[in-house]
Amino acid sequence: MNTTASTLLSIVMLAAFLLAAFGARFAWQGTYRKQGLLMMVVAVILVANVLIWVL
């Protein structure tokens, strides 16, 4: 895998972790529960896409 692809996959994983963390925070606070859950769903989809590209 070339450097550009590795860098992009790393950025996507960082984005997935941030989405999961802030999504969980929003979901547990209760104010933005739906948006928080959607953020966690997007994080799972991003991780799945990275796994597809890597494996």
Residue range 34-53, pLDDT digits in tens: 999 999 999 999 999 999 99
Confirm whether pTM is higher than 0.75.
Answer: yes
Whose CA is closest to 22, among 35, 8, 9? 35
Mean pLDDT value across residues 26-40: 95
Q: Give Cβ neighbours of residue 49 (< 8 Å, ≥ 6 apart).
A: 12
